[in-house]
Amino acid sequence: MTTRTPLISGNWKMNLNHFEAIQTVQKLHYLVPKQVFEGVEVSIHPPFTDIRSIQTLIESEDLDFSLGAQHCHFEDSGAFTGEVSPAFLAKLNTKYVICGHSERREVFGETDEMVSKKVLAILKYEMTPILCCGETLDEREAGDMEAKVLGQIEAGLAGVSNEQIASLVIAYEPIWAIGTGKTATAEDAQAACAAVRGKVREMADDATADSVRIQYGGSVKGGNAPELMSQPDIDGALVGGASLDPDEFARVIQFAG
Ligand code: 13P
């Protein structure tokens, strides 16, 4: 059985300017004892305007955080007003890039095809995609959860080699649990993440499925993290609201006690 180091990612969404970002990361680092990072990896995904400041802070003070982005375009450069190239993110030593977040899909019309192109573009620059999937409440109640989520995985991993899939991260985020205070039960979250791993097993092979890390996201907080993180197919969390508060995020990171 492969050991998968849990990845706790803070997706700040459109919150915290670069001054606030620096203070938040400094405080978070102060709150988490160094030895905790031996058993867990933590990535911070600030808005684009903060990334250079956070990169400088992490590198100059040798902080135990990985730098992440929330989104990117799939082209290297060109006439795409307002977009950010994966090449630019790679130059800032960005390690993880979230792609296909439900807010990007719902609010900005990202399709499975665009998400697939982004996954390939992020990999091309040797960064790691955090590929998001998740169902709406209506889809869950209609019994369509697996069809929706596994369809997103199938589309998102198209053209990705087994070796690349093994190193990437998938985030299962039920849309009805995002920012609502409603969390999937640990049992439901485990079942969904197991189904995602099963899909990877079907598309690739056992070794790949056993290596890929699968995060749960949706109202993760210090209080519910220990139970969610103890599930066999949950290898970390993609955290929104709670990641903006260093005290709360520090509790999530220390889920193992
Ligand atoms: P919340 O933790 O605020 O529910 O957000 C989850 C999320 O969308 C992280 O990407």
Q: Which of 241, 210, 212, 201 is nearest to 224 (CA)?
A: 241
| Residue in this structure with the two tokens 């040797």, named with its chain if needed | 126
Q: Are 93 and 132 in contact (CB under 8 A)?
A: no
pLDDT for res 60: 98
Pairing of strands 169-172, 213-217: parallel
User: Which residue range is the domain that position 225 belongs to?
Assistant: 7-256
102 domain residue, yes or no: yes
Q: What is the mean pLDDT of residues 192-213?
A: 98
Question: Is 80 exceeded by the pLDDT of residue 1?
Answer: no
**CATH number of domain containing 136:** 3.20.20.70
Distance between CA atoms of residues 186 and 59, nearest Å: 36
Position 178, amino acid = I
Question: Is 80 exceeded by the pLDDT of residue 208?
Answer: yes
Report the nearest atom of ligand 1 relative to the CA of 98: 10
pLDDT for res 195: 98
Options 101, 103, 110, 139, the catalytic residue:
101
Pocket test for ligand 1, best of 178, 214, 215, 228 (most atoms within 8 A of CB): 178
What is 121-152 written as a DSSP string? HHHHTT-EEEEEE---HHHHHTT-HHHHHHHH
161 domain residue, yes or no: yes
Determine if ligand 1 sits within 6 Å of the CB of residue 132.
no
Tens digit of each residue's pLDDT (9 = 90 or more) over 81-101 = 999 999 999 999 999 999 999
Residue 101 is a catalytic residue: yes
Q: Measuring CA to CA, how many Å separate 127 from each of 14, 93, 242, 251?
A: 22, 9, 25, 27
Q: What is the mean pLDDT of the chain?
A: 97
Question: Is 60 exceeded by the pLDDT of residue 233?
Answer: yes
2 domain residue, yes or no: no
pLDDT for res 182: 87
141 domain residue, yes or no: yes
Instruction: Give 46's pLDDT tier (boundaries 50, 70, 90).
Output: very high
Report the domain count for the chain.
1
1 domain residue, yes or no: no
